[in-house]
Every structure is written in structure tokens, then in C-alpha cells.
Chains A and B, each alone.
Chain A
Amino acid sequence: MTIRAFTALTRRELLRWFRTPAAIVSSLLMPFFYLLLFGQALNIGKLVSAEHLSYAQAALVYQGAPNFYSYFSAGMVGFVLLFTSLFAGANLIFDKRLGFVKRVAASPVDRSIILGSRLAGGMIRGILLGVAVFAIAIGFAHLPGLAGLTVSGSPGVLGVAEILLAMMFLAAAFTSIFLALGFVIEKVDSYFAVMNLLNLPLLFTSNALFPRYLYPPWLQVISNWNPVSLAVDVIRENLFASSAYYPYPPLVYLGFLFVICAVLVSLAVVITGRTLAAR
């Protein structure tokens, strides 16, 4: 019964998503423009060109990535996972307003299933969009006039599995934060205010967009522990075969990410249980 309720609720999450192509397009639009315009315009690889940096120095800055744009594109996967997870909380608030949450909460279904199905839905959406970002970035490498993602390493099955796990953990961590917020907050506008308080600092203290080599030391420390950085590190270290530029193998980052993810998911379980309990 539990599994059936879980799949039915998760299926519902995804059905709603697939039936609103506008939502899918708009979630893809932001990373798309970052890849198409922001990254191309702010290609700092051109600023710090060969005359200023030796090849070795450049490799140090980009932590083994062949160029800035490849480095940046891998970061965009973390970016899209972070921003997609926001929708899980916003959808939840809409569902509360529309009475759907009330209906599910009144059923005999376990509270953890209610959270779990939304978490699963959010993770699947995030991972599909993350893969789409990879595809777009790799595609750009083959278009004249555009910089793109060059996979300079050979991640292998294990590397791909690590990348997928990193994406899953990151999506789960953020989706649960934003779901917990969605359960607690009643108004969409308050939610968006709180959300901006979280997502921009999370993005800018990570190394998703820029090399942490350029950061002041205090920001580097924060950046090292930012879950976005941890996931992006797993992706980059695997994509660019750049273990020499990272103090630890990807599995270590993955482990830290898992711990953070587990803590945040447990927190969301507690908050959901409290919000949905009979008053």
C-alpha cells in the first residue's frame, strides 16, 4: 500500500510537470541563457589569457578543466539543481491553497510518503534538467562562435554513477529544505522572499560560476562546505580527470554531500510531521 501510494503521488507530481510544458521551458530557460549569454559574455578565460597565465597556472585556476567555459558549464548543473528545487516548495504552497495537501493529509497515507513523493518528484525533475544542461553545454562546443563544454577526462561508469549520485544528493538536500519551507509558509510571496534569502547566497558562495581560486580566503572556506560546491566538485573532478587539482577523490565530496543531504532530509521529515499532525 505504501509503495503504491508513493508511486501514485510521485506520478502525479511528474504528470503535472509534463502537462505544463511552459514550466519545463521556463526552468530550462534560466540555465540556457546562463550558458548562451552569461557564460559566453563573462568568459573570464579570455580575460586571463595565455599572456597572463601559463597553461599550468590556468589549469590550477580551473582545477584541471581545459578552459573556463567547461569549468563554468559543469557548475551550471549545480545551478539548475538548486533553482529547480525551489519549485518543489512553491508547488507545495499552491497545492496547499488548492486543498490538495489537505486531501492527502486526511488519507491514511503515512506523512513520510507525502514528503517522500514530493522529494522524489523534485529530484527527478532536477536530474532531468541537469542532464539537459549537460546536453546543451556539450552541444554548444559544436556550434561555431560559441564556447562549450569539453569533457577532457574519461569518467567511466563509476564516474558517471558518482556524478548522478552527486546530482541526486544535491537535489534531495535542496528539495527538502524548500519543501520544509513550503510546509511552514502559507503565502507564496513570503516563500519567494525567504527563497531569495537562501538561493542567491547558496549560489554565490559556491564555486558553481567562478573558480574558488579567485575567492578571498574566507569565501573559499565557505565555498568548500557549500553543498553546491561539493556536488560540482564531484562532477568536475570526474569530467576533467583532474584529481591532481583536488585534495580528495570525488567519493569524499560525495560522502560529505550525503551527510548534509541526510541531515536536511531528516529535518524536513520532522517539520513535515509536525505541520501535518492533527492540531
Chain B
Amino acid sequence: MVDPIIVVDRLAKEFPGGIKAVRGVSFDVAPKEIFGFLGPNGAGKSTTLGMLTTQLRPTGGRATIEGLDVLEHPREIRQRIGLVFQESTADDELTGRENLELSAALYAVPRGETQGRIDRLLSSLKLEDSAGRLVKTYSGGMRRRLEIAAGILHTPHVLFLDEPTIGLDPQGRAGIGTYIRELRDKFGVTVFVTTHYLEEADQLCDRIAIIDHGEIRAIGTPSELKERLGGDVVTLTLREEGADLTSAFRAVPGVLDVQRQDGRYRLKTARGEAIVADAVKCCLDAGAPLATVAVKRPSLDEVFLEFTGREYREEEGPSAADVAMRMNQWRGRRP
């Protein structure tokens, strides 16, 4: 096991007025991992991110990034991390390229490399055609991509993204996920991302921490978390009940359990898609007339319910802690 790049130990934040936004969270993030913080608004995601990026001072516990304590070495940490805020922070009156040039100056990107890096990032993020336009003409998705480019320009070791897809349409959301993965693969950057979209956490993250009311309820890979609920179910319905295929299905690698019920087989497995082809082949080999195949996986909704004891609430308004946190930057942009 490689040494973790982020180590968080009982980190806590109590805002003046006694609002306990984060109540002692502990986790590690491995290099090059995409680590997701999933939870509803006000769960303490942004507060935790704020402490890790030296924007907020922890009131308990400690956190280190590449061995540097966030309280003792804020300047060094800032140089080593990239930060993409929830809201747009680019200058509307400057062009995309000018914004990136400004970031390069703020993060002391070597002068000789600046233009080359900007060009590469603009093309990676499909912004090369709009680089010369003022940012105020950009769409929401373009802005977010520009923010990501600005966040990664100085080749940070860890990229923090606070709700990178908030306020974007589904298409824009899907695009951002792809770009984040690409950047990780291309630059080997570790990614810490907060989100309150379950599907996004599921698709994007290598590991997820589920956070609610300032506490971590569960940590694991998306499939681990779902497996704890019993994994996927592949249901095969036959047109007519024939010979018993139970033992044939059991022989398929990856199948954990098979239930038979009036011409319908329910196959429990860790990953549904992985066994569909084999299961269908079983039917064909046995000459059984297959009517339908369905893969159902426990969604993260169910995972969330399991670990927090309540339904997931994506649309809920911000909590008191959230308001305290974002009072300055409030723009009223909620999906």
C-alpha cells in the first residue's frame, strides 16, 4: 500500500455560534485516487474541503497533505493543490486565456511553460476555440471547464473540486466527469471531489465517503458500498418454464446466489453486467426460451438510506452551517 497523500484524523469544525459543521472525520486518500465526498447540502462536505484547502481553520483534529499540516503550512499546501470552487470565480471581463494567464502568475507557473500548458489544457478541455472570448459569453459548462483548467494549470498534486457539476445540465455534468478522469490519467493528479449527486459519485469516484450531519457514515468503493447491501440482481425471465437451470447459473463465475421462482431466475452478484453474457449463454446452451433480462443494482440511494437511516434529499435547502459558510459567496444558484 502506497502512503496516502491526504491524511485526515478526527478533523472537526465548529463555527462561531456553536454550529458543528464537521464532527471529527477521519479518512485517507491514496495518490491518483478520485475520492468523493457524498452527502446532502449542509452535511459538512464543503467545510471539510475548506479545511483541507486552508480556507478554514479546523477547530479539532488534524489533516495533512503530502505530510504538511494544513494549519502549519498553508502557503506550501496552496502551491501544491488546485482548487475549483462551487461557484464561478473567473473574471467575466477577461478572456479565457487571460484568466488562465492570471492563474499562471498567481501560482508562479514557469514563464517559459505558461503558454504551452495553457494551450494543452485548452485543447484537453475543448476550450481552444473560445479561449479568446470574454468569459461572460461562456456557457455554464464552459465556465466550469475553464475553472478546472485554472485549477490544474500549476500541476497540483491534489485537485479539489467542490460540487463541480452543480448547476449544469445532464450533458454538461457527464462531460465534466469525463474530463476529471482524463486529467487524473494524464497528469496523475489526486482528486478530491464533493458532490451531492449519487450517480456522479458512483460513476466518477474510485472511493466514496458518505457524510451526513458532519460525520462519515461509510467509506468504500462504489461497488463495495453497494455490495454491503447485497450487490446487483440479474433477473432472467423465460418464456416457458423448462428444465431447472439453477445449477447452471450457479456455475457462472461471479454469481453469488440463485433464486428460482415461476420461470424467473434471480441471480445475485457483485457486478451485474459482468455476468449477463454468461447467464444468457447458459439459457441458450440449455435451449431455454429467454424472454427478458434485467440488471438491477442497489442504487446509492439505497446505500445512503442504509448508512444514514434516512432518504437521500438532493433538493433540500442549505443548512445553517452552509449558510454560515457561504454567506459571502451566496449566489443563489442551486440546481
Contact = CB atoms under 8 A, between A and B. Distances in A.
Contacts of A16: 91, 93-94
A9 B107 CA distance: 12
B79 A108 contact: yes
B97 to A, nearest CB: 12
B105 A4 contact: yes
B54 A100 contact: no
B75 interface: yes
B93 A106 contact: no
Interface stretch (B1-9, B82-90, B272-280): B82-90
A20 B92 CA distance: 12
A139 B333 CA distance: 51
Interface size class of B (residues with CB under 8 A): 20 to 34
Nearest to A12: B102
B149 to A, nearest CB: 13
Dominant SS at the A interface? Answer: helix
Contact of A99 (B85, B94, B108): B85
Contacts of B150: 103
B21 to A, nearest CB: 12
A122 B42 CA distance: 39
A259 interface: no
B89 A100 contact: yes
Given A99-B85, A103-B85, A278-B56, A5 B105 contact: yes
A246 B220 CA distance: 79
B334 interface: no
Nearest to A15: B94
A186 B331 CA distance: 13
Contact of A107 (B76, B93, B107, B111): B107
Given A8-B101, A8-B102, A279-B56, A108 B89 contact: no
A104 interface: yes
A7 B101 CA distance: 12
A19 interface: yes
A25 interface: no
Contacts of A96: 328-329
B88 A12 contact: no
Given A5-B105, A106-B78, A186-B327, 16 more contacts: A8-B102, A8-B105, A9-B102, A12-B98, A16-B93, A96-B328, A97-B329, A97-B331, A98-B88, A99-B87, A100-B89, A106-B53, A107-B78, A108-B76, A186-B328, A278-B74
Closest A-B pairs by Cβ, 9 of them: A8-B105, A103-B89, A99-B89, A1-B108, A108-B78, A107-B106, A108-B79, A99-B87, A16-B93
Interface of A: 1, 4-5, 7-9, 12, 15-16, 19-20, 96-100, 102-109, 186, 278-279
